[in-house]
Structure 1
Amino acid sequence: MAEIDPTDRDALVALLDGEIEPDTGEAIIARLGGDAALRDQFARLERSGQGIRPAFDFLLDTAPIERLDAILDRAIADQAPPRAPVQEPVRRKPWPLFRIALAPVLTAVIAGIAGIWIGYAVLGAPSSGPPETWREAVAEYWRLTTPDTLAIEPTADHAARQLQLAAERLGLPLAMQNVALPDASFRGATIFDFAGRPLAQIAYLNRDGEPIAFCLITDPNKRETPPTAIVVDGFNVVHWASGGFARMLIGRVPEETLKRYAALLIDNAG
Structure 2
Amino acid sequence: MNTKRTIPSDEDLTAFIDGELTADEAARIESLMNEDKAVAERLEFLARASLPFEQAFAPLMSEAPRDKLETMLAAIPVPESAKSGATPVYASRRRFLGALAASVVAGIAIDRAVLAIGRGFSAKDENSEWRAVVADYISLYTPEALAGPVPARDDQATQLAGLDEKLGLSLSPESVSLPGIDFKRALLLQYDGNPLAQLAYLDPETGPMALCIVRSDAGPKAPDLESRRGMNVVYWSNGTHAFMLIGHAAADRMAAIADGVRGRVAA
Per the normalisation by structure 1, the TM-score is 0.57
Q: Do structure 1's residue 139 and structure 2's residue 189 form an aligned pair?
A: no
Following the alignment from structure 1 to structure 2, what is the Cα–Cα distance between the partners of residues 19 and 44? Answer: 14
Residue of structure 2 in register with 1:266 after alignment: 262
Match of 2:163 in 1: 166
1:229–1:32 Cα change, 3 Å: same
Q: Distance in 1 between matches of 2:197 and 2:206?
A: 22
Is 2:229 aligned against 1:179?
no
Residue 157 of structure 1 is matched in structure 2 by: 154
Q: How does 1:13-162 map to 2 (within 5 A)?
A: 16-17=16-17, 32-35=82-85, 37-38=87-88, 40-42=90-92, 43-47=94-98, 133-152=129-148, 153-162=150-159
Distance in 1 (alpha carbons) for counterparts of 2:183 and 2:96: 32
Which residue does the alignment assign to 1:112? none
After superposition, give the CA deviation of every residue in 1:13-52 in whole Å (9 maximum; x if it has no partner). Answer: 99631668989x99xx665214574453333354499xxx
Partner of 2:225: 229
Bigger Cα Rg = 1
Kept in 1, the 8 Å contact 2:202–2:208? The answer is yes
Relative distance call for 1:178 and 1:41 in structure 2 (3 A) is same
Higher normalized helix content (fraction of residues): 1
Of 236-245 and 37-46, more deviation after overlay is shown by 37-46
> Any conservation in 1 of the 2:235–2:243 contact (CA below 8 Å)?
yes
**Secondary structure of 2:170 counterpart:** coil
**Which amino acid counterpart does residue 191 of structure 2 have in structure 1?**
F
Aligned-residue RMSD, C-alpha? 3.3
User: Is 1:32–1:39's contact at 8 Å kept on the other side of the alignment?
Assistant: no
Q: Distance in 1 between matches of 2:184 and 2:265?
A: 18
Query: CA separation of 1:222/1:143 partners in 2, compared to 1, >3 Å: closer, same or farther?
Result: same
Letter aligned with residue 16 of structure 1: F
* 1:269 to 1:18, Cα distance in 2 relative to 1, 3 A: closer
Mark the CA change 1:240 to 1:158 in structure 2 (over 3 Å): closer, same or farther: same
Aligned counterpart for 1:216 among listed residues 199, 209, 213: 213
Alpha carbons of 1:22 and 1:209: their partners in 2 closer, same or farther (altered >3 Å)?
Answer: closer
Name the CA distance, whole Å, in 2 between partners of 1:32 and 1:163: 43
Change in 2 beyond 3 A, CA 1:266/1:19:
same
Mapped partners of 2:221, 2:249: distance in 1: 22
Cα distance between partner residues in 2 of 1:193 and 1:45? 19
CA contact (8 A) 2:20 2:82 kept: no
Alpha-carbon distance in 2 for matches of 1:166, 1:20 = 37
Instruction: Specify which structure has the bigger relative contact order, considering alpha-carbon pairs within 8 angstroms and separated by 6 or more residues.
Output: 2
Q: Is the 8 A contact 1:191 1:198 kept in 2?
A: yes
Q: Which amino acid aligns with 2:218?
A: K
- 1:133 counterpart letter in structure 2: E
Q: Describe the shift of the 1:35–1:211 C-alpha distance in structure 2 as closer, same or farther (beyond 3 A).
A: same
Provide the rounded CA distance (Å) in 1 between the counterparts of 2:20 and 2:180. 52
Q: What is the number of residues matched between the two proteins? A: 177
Structure 2's unaligned 5+ residue stretches are: 1-12, 27-78, 101-117, 120-124
